[in-house]
Structure 1
């Protein structure tokens, strides 16, 4: 495969002047297309084919009921007609901040019907995300469900049309509704080139502002669809996907552009995550695959069984978004009786999975999704088994970062490889092992500690349901490591001595042991369902109070705001 730094002659440009160049060499894109790894069709065209071929197939299930492909297609055209009446069209960027449900799916597909670019982003991130994302993407339109977001969007440059689901919209804001008479709209055929941008994936990452990554139709319907096909296995009919994460998240992109448009699957969603509700959805709606982050899956597995509970429709439980603790994988296998698949990946075009979660094993990279290489600090290839930075490139690779050339310079090589920022190794069998973050470390008295490594070992402790390790400031050593854990329900909570004894038995070096243990009734979550490390750190600092001696176990009841010190 060529590694020349040649990119597309001219970047794609939006109606409002946003340039999105392709950072992958053109020769590589052409090779993937020639091998059939990147379809020559846009996402709306693919969705329309499914709607015409199987109009009565269930397309989407939410709290309001079920929509067939025929019904969803009609709703997509209705919403696209509203967008077009408001002056939106091809090459616009349209932001979408909506709860999971039929409108979120129809609105995203309607953007593709226009030949426009979708910018979905999850609820719960605050109005700063709205100001930042809409301004930097030069969005021409937005669909916003929260009044605070409508206020934040007022007066933003480039924004020509704003829609809301709230009644009584004023100030030029249009109401989009969730039903209504069809508006005459005839999509172009095709509405966009397969190589054009389709969706901007949003990831908070480690940047001060959320970063956006531009994906072409081909990357969504090619590499990302190949990943989902590999997960769902040989088809016994279209899969039924229960997606618990926000559809607007990077992980949630497997729902609308991939599950519905590319695969013709049935998409089952809930407006917000509740473990008991999610379990009832498994029983009632009979998904073949369950997608969630480890915290969600663990909370479902810990629930008492429902009367007559039948989860036999499931073929696999899929975990992504964070490292999967061994105890959570075991709890899910015991509860659901199916393989647990763990996915290593990111919004930057990195993806690998395994159906046998074990320690640091991420699986065998699939070149139809993304090829991997391990690179030394000097840029030379690492030997087999030698640790180095994980880099990826393939049919799933995005075009570029949005309005952030500094991120392209930092995270993309001249040959189009994505620098993951993760430490890993490829063994003799070609399997990828993830060894932690290159920069997410705790510095204790000159020693470097990887929180991910300690969390992996804590995840094997049968007394611990969830764990996250965070740094707390220390006058003597600069930082010390605090383990924030949620004990398994009904099991005696361990103290720090018991936890470190278990870590010692597993062979972890003593200098990496946590020096504080924070026992929590719940871990703080981000809108995507991942553990919020920033909040966990704030809780740890508040609980320890700056004067707690190392070796303490602190129990925290977040509901009451109480801190109880022991040890």
Structure 2
């Protein structure tokens, strides 16, 4: 029998005075975190929350999120975290789909979550900073089976309504153990992040891994590069975790910094999207630490592959399968692909989800009876067993019969000194089927134009890969983790622009 709060309880017994959490103006030791969580769990039980009940949690990355999350676990409930920017209709959908019994909402959030709960006659508990000093007696932690669902995380997807990935007690505990092993986390480590904890990256790769190793976790409620640099210096972080857009933003914010300013920083963990090689090289030079890229999905509790600390990061690759996990690349017939051959990535191991909540058909479509998860990602394994993610299957551009991988073009675009953000997508084209379009954000003051950028890429890419449609924007749409959301880019508008574009169109593939 087990519970997701077990690592915290273990360290509360062995190292009770060690810092577990650091917020903007507060800290909690492991003993304080255990007491606060189990006391809040008792309050939830008094509100008729029973084992297996689903509880919505809407809060930013603050210590109180962690207390409430662990309290739901201690009470035997199922956490249903939602994006703090979710609209009322989006929240209503999750509340209804998951069959939520209670909504816990951060006191500073807007009315969307509370209104959604009220519309469905679901009680709401307001989450406030005084949760850590809640009066009452702690409850005993509920013993659960490792196969019991502990969290339901809704995946946005590119089509259809979001699906709830059921992560089990065993998934989350295994994720914490694997994460601690990969980062060699210990009680001496001070980990920090600006990632949202309602997302699987922050929740499993960061929070669970930190508590499993017994180190401290510094939280930034909302990512800002200057604020993250302040946390890095203030708490003398040894580990940081983020997505590529965060590292890029920090590079620009720390333009006058030297590697010795961050000499205690051991590693930076990158995930959520492919890490451009140029960003990785500049970050390592500026911050004097190794940036290690990993690969995982919500459906795999954020774990799949990770670059090894001893070998260092292999730029362009997300590393080998993490301990206890298996990763294969298969062709469209299901056969294993030889090294350096692109196919679909499949993952198997203790962090693979139980399935999609109340969606047996969707579950069967991606999860085989023998435990292999079909990821929907295109990738290739090299002779060392390192995985290179090429793109999402659905993001592949087929231009005139040629396969174009957007990530390859984005990698080139990021080497241009004026480009801060870049996204490459396919738009419908009457002649080629699809045309390559690049949407980029530039450094302030840049005079780079679309035609000039197209000509610049002509010297660096094969003719069929050149973006012939270029849109220059102030910033690209991003999700809660900072990951660029390609599905939010208006392809119809780009196609309209292409009809009047001055860039050459008649180029032989």
Say if 1:80 and 1:114, in contact at 8 Å, map to a contact too. Answer: yes
Say if 1:441 and 1:451, in contact at 8 Å, map to a contact too. Answer: yes
1:530 aligns with 2:488: no
Alignment of 1:342-353 (within 5 A): 342-349=293-300, 351-353=304-306
Match of 2:463 among 498, 510, 524: 510
Match of 1:366 among 322, 326, 346: 322
CA displacement 1:399-446 (0-9 Å, x = unmatched): 111122222122112211010111222232222222222221334455
Match of 1:303 among 253, 270, 280: 253
CA displacement 1:433-473 (0-9 Å, x = unmatched): 22222221334455543322322332344443321113345
How far has the Cα of 1:155 moved from its partner?
A: 4.1
Distance 1:497 1:547 in 2: 14
Say if 1:202 and 1:249, in contact at 8 Å, map to a contact too. Answer: no
Match of 1:212 among 153, 161, 164: 164
When residues 529 and 265 of structure 1 are mapped into structure 2, their CA distance, relative to the original with a 3 A threshold, is same
Distance 1:204 1:53 in 2: 40
Match of 1:153 among 103, 117, 120: 117
Match of 1:520 among 473, 483, 499: 473
How far has the Cα of 1:488 moved from its partner?
A: 4.7
1:273 aligns with 2:228: no
Q: Matched residue of 2:158: which SS?
A: coil
Q: Matched residue of 1:455: which SS?
A: helix
Say if 1:484 and 1:519, in contact at 8 Å, map to a contact too. Answer: yes
How far has the Cα of 1:496 moved from its partner?
A: 4.1
How far has the Cα of 1:248 moved from its partner?
A: 0.5
When residues 124 and 87 of structure 1 are mapped into structure 2, their CA distance, relative to the original with a 3 A threshold, is same
Say if 1:58 and 1:66, in contact at 8 Å, map to a contact too. Answer: yes
When residues 533 and 217 of structure 1 are mapped into structure 2, their CA distance, relative to the original with a 3 A threshold, is same
1:163 aligns with 2:119: no
Q: Matched residue of 1:471: which SS?
A: strand
Say if 2:64 and 2:127, in contact at 8 Å, map to a contact too. Answer: no
- In the comparison of the two structures, how many residue pairs are matched? 495
Tell me the equivalent position of 2:197.
247
Q: Matched residue of 1:396: which SS?
A: coil
Match of 1:192 among 121, 140, 144: 144
Distance 2:207 2:4 in 1: 7
Say if 2:39 and 2:139, in contact at 8 Å, map to a contact too. Answer: no
CA displacement 1:284-313 (0-9 Å, x = unmatched): 111111111111111011114578983222
Q: Which moved more, 1:116-125 or 1:291-300?
A: 116-125
Q: Which moved more, 1:99-108 or 1:238-247?
A: 238-247
Tell me the equivalent position of 2:15.
54
Tell me the equivalent position of 1:288.
238
How far has the Cα of 1:504 moved from its partner?
A: 4.3
Distance 1:426 1:304 in 2: 35
Q: Matched residue of 2:100: which SS?
A: coil
Match of 1:325 among 268, 276, 279: 276
Tell me the equivalent position of 1:21.
none
Say if 2:176 and 2:211, in contact at 8 Å, map to a contact too. Answer: no
How far has the Cα of 1:272 moved from its partner?
A: 0.8
CA displacement 1:195-253 (0-9 Å, x = unmatched): 3222223321224222221122222212x124322442364x44211121100101111
When residues 118 and 479 of structure 1 are mapped into structure 2, their CA distance, relative to the original with a 3 A threshold, is same
Tell me the equivalent position of 2:101.
140
Tell me the equivalent position of 2:349.
394
Say if 1:77 and 1:182, in contact at 8 Å, map to a contact too. Answer: no
When residues 505 and 398 of structure 1 are mapped into structure 2, their CA distance, relative to the original with a 3 A threshold, is same
Distance 2:228 2:250 in 1: 7
1:410 aligns with 2:365: yes
Say if 2:20 and 2:217, in contact at 8 Å, map to a contact too. Answer: yes
CA displacement 1:11-67 (0-9 Å, x = unmatched): xxxxxxxxxxxxxxxxxxxxxxxxxxxxx6322233211112111111111112211
1:455 aligns with 2:410: yes
When residues 474 and 382 of structure 1 are mapped into structure 2, their CA distance, relative to the original with a 3 A threshold, is closer
Distance 1:436 1:221 in 2: 29
Normalised by the length of structure 1, the TM-score is 0.80
Match of 1:441 among 370, 373, 396: 396
When residues 467 and 72 of structure 1 are mapped into structure 2, their CA distance, relative to the original with a 3 A threshold, is same
1:94 aligns with 2:45: no
Say if 2:277 and 2:315, in contact at 8 Å, map to a contact too. Answer: yes
CA RMSD of aligned residues (A): 2.7
Say if 1:472 and 1:537, in contact at 8 Å, map to a contact too. Answer: no
Alignment of 1:57-76 (within 5 A): 57-76=18-37
Tell me the equivalent position of 2:65.
104
